[in-house]
DNA sequence: GGTGCGATTGCA
DNA sequence: GCAATCGCACCA
């Protein structure tokens, strides 16, 4: 896993991340999970993206280097984990919406639950998954046979962008 | 300085 | 069906 992996269109990265292992190190303990659902937020023209309104304090991480971790708080209580794609200065990211814990295989559905399962808070905001010791991508755990595609969840305000097939799932 | 709401979740 | 709960974008 390297910078080039993330320096690509968010749609490509969102599909490629499916089946990869993500590891959260908490002291001596490691939480392992397989990414099973993602969404792509493709650029500043994407009306569903936080970056649609431009560079703000909140969205600054989305304009960062490939592999930058973007964590935000929604509804005052849930954290959402995103990985920034494309070159520095171009805001795009992939939202991690679901994972399967290893080795149990327990499915953790929903971005808030997935972030919580990995103990992700805003501590990780603006860090980089390529260099951080506490959150890393592991090896590919499986190669998806079939990738299902649907519109993204919870973005009815995004006009035409609400319908675009930018949510990706396996199993 | 004030206001409104969200890339959600859990419970009635 | 709806309350929870807060950082921040936006307006004044």
Q: What is the pLDDT of residue A143?
A: 97
Which nucleotide is closest to A60, CA to C1'? C8
The CATH number assigned to the domain holding A96 equals 3.10.300.10
Q: What is the pLDDT of residue A171?
A: 86
Q: Which residues pair with A149 in a beta bridge?
A: A168
Q: Is A153 within 7 A of strand B by CB distance? A: yes
Q: What gap in Å lies between CA A71 and CA A63, rounded to an integer?
A: 13
Q: What is the pLDDT of residue A57?
A: 97
Angle at A37 between CA A32 and CA A170, to 5 degrees: 95
Into how many domains does chain A fold? 1
Q: What is the pTM of this model?
A: 0.97
Q: What is the pLDDT of residue A158?
A: 94
The overall average pLDDT reported for chain A is 97
- Give pLDDT tens digits for A133-142: 999 999 999 9
Give, in Å, how far the C1' of C2 lies from the CA of A75: 14
Nucleotides of B under 7 A from a protein CB: 6-10
Give, in Å, how far the C1' of B7 lies from the CA of A45: 15
- Give pLDDT tens digits for A40-57: 999 999 999 999 999 999
Q: Is A59 within 7 A of strand C by CB distance? A: yes
Q: What gap in Å lies between CA A145 and CA A89, rounded to an integer?
A: 34
Nucleotides of C under 7 A from a protein CB: 4-10
Q: What is the pLDDT of residue A1?
A: 82
Q: What is the pLDDT of residue A104?
A: 97
Q: What gap in Å lies between CA A128 and CA A136, rounded to an integer?
A: 9
**The domain containing residue A122 runs over which residues?**
3-170
Q: Is A88 within 7 A of strand C by CB distance? A: no
Give, in Å, how far the C1' of B3 lies from the CA of A74: 18
């Amino acid at each position: 896993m390297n910078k080039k992996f993330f320096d690509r269109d968010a749609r490509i990265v969102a599909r490629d991340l499916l089946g990869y292992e993500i590891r959260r190190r908490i002291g001596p303990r490691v939480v392992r999970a397989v990414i099973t659902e993602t969404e792509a937020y493709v650029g500043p023209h994407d009306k569903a993206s936080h970056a649609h309104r431009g560079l703000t304090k909140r969205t600054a991480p989305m304009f960062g280097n490939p592999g930058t971790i973007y964590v935000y708080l929604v509804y005052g209580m849930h954290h959402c984990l995103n990985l920034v794609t494309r070159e520095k200065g171009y805001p795009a990211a992939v939202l991690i919406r679901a994972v399967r814990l290893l080795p149990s295989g327990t499915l953790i559905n929903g971005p808030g639950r997935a972030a919580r399962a990995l103990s992700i808070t805003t501590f990780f905001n603006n860090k980089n998954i390529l260099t951080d010791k506490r959150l890393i991508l592991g090896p590919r755990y499986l190669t998806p046979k079939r990738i299902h595609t649907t519109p993204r969840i919870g973005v009815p305000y995004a006009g035409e962008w609400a319908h675009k097939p930018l949510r990706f799932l396996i199993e």
